[in-house]
């Protein structure tokens, strides 16, 4: 392998957003154990920043809220992204990746996926590999179901395991509050619980039992027109019952946000972060304050979307 030609190169920093699933329709369990999805993503303005600088070997550091929960070895998706890009171009992945974390960790907001997309774009820029968007998206899909969306941002419908993206038009800005819970929830465990609950209900949990997942026409129309009230009525997450089964305390958080005036509430992805759609920025501040005072969550954050995906920041 050759060493990247980055002698004296300054660091490259990429900003990458969190996501909320405004719809997560989960199909039956496939023979390979995965589930087909109709996953409507919206990128929101909570960001991690990933900085890539030349180094003698691949190393990771992380700062920010819950940084102590972020693995700094090869299990980290950012490290895997750097190795995958280097392998494709015959390079030694000699880079230091620093993650400045602000997206909740293990919170169902794709923080790890965001870091992978950020590292991929940062290394591509630092090393001058000139990868096409299609190549970067292919690497993203190999890394995880949410990673491709973290790269492109905006709003999109994810098919397959969520990695096959179709951009969606959005007619306005949607305002959100995110209540951060203590601890995380394992995504595989939540899917397993979803299957268990479906089996227990008598509906069955396989592709033979569950209809193919489809996006809600009403939800897509609400996004297109920018109608927050209509979007609130259409929000849906097939994993919410499983997340609540594993973490019953989330029900109190959902109720606290709704009681404070949110238009709608749902578990974000596989949780345990809960998401509250609100009418405007002022209401977001009020709902966030009420959630912080409720004692049902660790903290609450406000954000709006859609926002762009992974973006290289100007140097200096």
pLDDT tens-digit readout, 231-286: 999 999 999 999 999 999 999 999 999 999 999 999 998 889 999 999 999 999 99
In eight-state DSSP terms, residue 177 is E
**Average per-residue pLDDT in the chain?**
93
> What architecture does CATH give domain 174-305?
2-Layer Sandwich (3.30)
pTM of the model: 0.92
The mean per-residue pLDDT over the stretch 47-51 comes to 97
Q: Name the binding residues.
A: 104-114
Nearby residues of 188 by Cβ (< 8 Å), 6 or more positions away: none
Q: Name the binding residues for ATP.
A: 104-114
Residues present in the chain in total: 316
Write down the catalytic residue from 19, 66, 195, 238.
19
Is the per-residue pLDDT at 128 higher than 90?
Answer: yes
The mean per-residue pLDDT over the stretch 121-140 comes to 95
Where does residue 123 fall: left (phi above 0), alpha (psi -120 to 50 degrees), or beta otherwise?
Answer: alpha
Q: Do domains 3-169 and 174-305 have the same CATH topology?
A: no
Annotated catalytic, 146?
yes
Distance of CA 135 to the CA centre of its chain: 20
pLDDT digits (tens, 9 = 90+) for 186-245: 889 999 999 999 999 999 999 999 999 999 999 999 999 999 999 999 999 999 999 999
The region of weakest confidence among 11-20, 28-37, 41-50, 157-166 is 157-166
- CB atoms closer than 10 angstroms to residue 238: 20
Q: Which fold has domain 3-169?
A: Ribosomal Protein S5; domain 2 (3.30.230)
Write down the catalytic residue from 48, 102, 124, 146.
146
Is the per-residue pLDDT at 175 higher than 60?
Answer: yes
> Which residue ranges make up each domain of the chain?
3-169, 174-305
């Amino acid at each position: 392998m050759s060493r990247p030609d980055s002698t004296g190169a300054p660091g490259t920093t990429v900003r990458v957003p969190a996501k909320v699933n405004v719809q997560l329709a989960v199909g039956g369990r496939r023979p390979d154990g995965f589930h087909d999805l109709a996953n409507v993503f919206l990128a929101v303005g909570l960001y991690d920043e990933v900085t890539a600088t030349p180094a003698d070997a691949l190393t990771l550091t992380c700062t920010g809220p819950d940084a102590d929960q972020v693995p700094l070895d090869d299990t980290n998706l950012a490290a895997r992204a750097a190795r995958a890009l280097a392998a494709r171009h015959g390079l030694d992945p000699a880079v230091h990746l620093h993650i400045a974390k602000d997206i909740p960790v293990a919170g169902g907001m794709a923080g790890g996926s965001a870091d992978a997309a950020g590292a991929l774009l940062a290394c591509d820029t630092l090393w001058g590999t000139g990868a096409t968007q299609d190549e970067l998206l292919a690497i993203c899909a190999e890394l995880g179901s949410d990673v491709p969306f973290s790269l492109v941002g905006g709003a999109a419908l994810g098919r397959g395991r969520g990695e096959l993206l179709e951009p969606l038009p959005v007619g306005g800005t949607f305002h959100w509050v995110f209540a951060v819970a203590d601890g995380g929830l394992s995504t595989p465990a939540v899917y397993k619980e979803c299957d268990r609950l479906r089996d227990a209900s008598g509906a069955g949990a396989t592709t033979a039992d569950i209809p193919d997942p489809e996006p809600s026409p009403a939800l897509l129309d609400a996004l297109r027109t920018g109608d927050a009230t209509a979007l609130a009525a259409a929000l849906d997450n097939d994993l919410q019952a499983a997340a609540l089964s594993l973490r019953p305390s989330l029900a109190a958080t959902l109720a606290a946000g709704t009681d404070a005036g949110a238009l709608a509430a749902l578990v974000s992805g596989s949780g345990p972060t809960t998401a509250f759609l609100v009418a405007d920025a002022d209401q977001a501040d009020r709902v966030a304050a009420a959630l912080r005072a409720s004692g049902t969550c660790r903290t609450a954050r406000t954000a709006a979307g859609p926002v762009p995906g992974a973006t290289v920041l100007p140097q200096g």
